[in-house]
Structure 1
Amino acid sequence: MSSSLACSVCNKTQSQETDIKRCGRCRDRFYCGRDCQVSDWPTHKRTCGAVAPRSTNAPRTPMWYDKYRKCRDGSFHEGDLELITWSCVESESGIEMGWGNCDIEESADLKEKFENEYKGDQQKLFRYWPRAFRWTCCGMDAELRCCDHHGSGSKPCTCDFCRMGKPLPDSIYNEKNSSRLGLKLRRGPDPRSFKPSRARKAEAMRSLFGLQM
């Protein structure tokens, strides 16, 4: 099965005959057409207003996830925290991940927990299963607590490759997983990140732990 955006209701995937579109208001749900969008509204309306529509002229509305933006290394996420509602077959493991970025066999239970027990409250779901969300600035799932934005952020990227002055290797950049699906991310390197001392340290540490250079 190939990785693709899928309708949040019927799971129909993107194709020449089917154009999968996001909810125009919150951008968190995907639909293959009006019928599925209308049928999903009784459930979706609980959370649709949680994400304000974008406007270039209006000030940004504070979001519940703003307090989770800071990473362990001191960097910050500058994108949105997005609930993963699509399926994806991971290229490295071959495992199919479903709604909420969990094993496809468990995704229906997680979705039911979100809709019925948490009443569509994304913050409660985040506390229970942060991997259900991804940051749109870097394609990292929220459990990882880092932001490898490779030059798209206001501050220098802190990843090893940018510090070494190298772009991401093909095996990493082309890897398919749920948290990166559909995003157009930079490959780097971020020229602001390179310093000889940082490059030597990053190379030494990656060599020590047998990581890809």
Structure 2
Amino acid sequence: MPTKKCAVCKKTSGPSYQPLQKCSRCQSQVYCGRECQTADWPNHKAACKAVLTNGEPWYEAYRKCKDGTRHEGVLELITWSCPKEGTGWGHCFEEESADMKEKFEVKYGGDEKRFYNYWPQGFRWTCCGMEGDMKYGCDHHGTGKKPCTCDFCRMGQALPDRIYNEQSAGRMGLQLARGPDPRSYSASHAAMATSMRAMMGLDEASDDE
């Protein structure tokens, strides 16, 4: 599970175990208190300004999916390791993570928008746990403004254990809905999804594994 740390002193909590505070302007950098935030401002200033475009987060332009749905969470840079996938900072191979982090800090100056354009798979949407380079569908399973478009919600089924319990970097630390989204059920879609999933062997594994 990813652990947030103060950008300056690397503490995981503030004085007297108070929770970390996000930069009020960009909401991306975290600090244990005002002293560390003030000390970091000369370094954080450029990246902080780059986070906002016309008063909105830079990732607003990337919310729309190819199926017409929209992500409703935050596009978050993956800075933690995922042992099961063997990935580290930036969701790249663990042995390459230090170089990737240096590239983000030096070549891209800590600018998440520029880095996203270079390495979108290094980000995840907090509403569904999908990686930043996934352009089709936000599987919110009933928590979004529009009906979920995943096969399971259309079939009126909750996510099976083998999918819901999957440990991936994009889903680590998130409390995601399991569904099904009651607005999504469609008899015709359910029949089609069931047939196509069987044809492609997508549901061969037991849900109890």
User: Aligned residue for 1:56?
Assistant: none
Q: Secondary structure at the match of 1:202?
A: helix
Q: Which moved more, 1:179-188 or 1:62-71?
A: 62-71
Shift of 1:193: 0.4
User: Aligned residue for 2:3?
Assistant: 5
Task: Report if aligned partners of 1:139, 1:180 keep a CA contact under 8 Å in 2.
Answer: yes
Task: Report if aligned partners of 2:51, 2:111 keep a CA contact under 8 Å in 1.
Answer: no
Q: Distance in 2 between matches of 1:85 and 1:4?
A: 8
The reply on whether 1:112 has 2:106 as its aligned counterpart is no
Greater C-alpha radius of gyration: 2
Q: Compute the TM-score of the two structures, normalised by the length of structure 1.
A: 0.78
The reply on whether 1:67 has 2:61 as its aligned counterpart is yes
User: Aligned residue for 1:184?
Assistant: 175
The reply on whether 1:78 has 2:72 as its aligned counterpart is yes
Shift of 1:85: 1.8
The reply on whether 1:47 has 2:47 as its aligned counterpart is yes
| Residues 47-86 of structure 1, C-alpha deviations (whole Å, 9 max, x = no match) | 234446xxxxxxx942222221121222111222111222
Shift of 1:46: 2.9
Task: Report if aligned partners of 2:50, 2:113 keep a CA contact under 8 Å in 1.
Answer: no
Shift of 1:135: 1.0
Letter of the 1:77 partner, please give it. Answer: H
Match of 2:187 among 174, 191, 196: 196
Q: Distance in 1 between matches of 2:130 and 2:101?
A: 21
Taking a change above 3 Å as real, the CA distance of residues 21 and 212 of structure 1, as seen in their structure-2 partners, is: farther
Q: Any stretches of 5+ residues in structure 1 without a counterpart? A: 53-59
Post-superposition, which runs of at least 4 consecutive aligned residues in structure 1 deviate over 6 A?
A: 9-14, 35-39
Larger relative helix fraction? 2
Task: Report if aligned partners of 2:116, 2:123 keep a CA contact under 8 Å in 1.
Answer: yes
Shift of 1:108: 1.3
Q: Any stretches of 5+ residues in structure 2 without a counterpart? A: 205-209
Alignment size in residue pairs: 197
Taking a change above 3 Å as real, the CA distance of residues 184 and 112 of structure 1, as seen in their structure-2 partners, is: same
Q: Distance in 2 between matches of 1:4 and 1:122?
A: 19
Taking a change above 3 Å as real, the CA distance of residues 75 and 50 of structure 1, as seen in their structure-2 partners, is: same
Q: Compute the TM-score of the two structures, normalised by the length of structure 2.
A: 0.79
Q: Percent identity?
A: 54
Task: Report if aligned partners of 2:51, 2:58 keep a CA contact under 8 Å in 1.
Answer: no
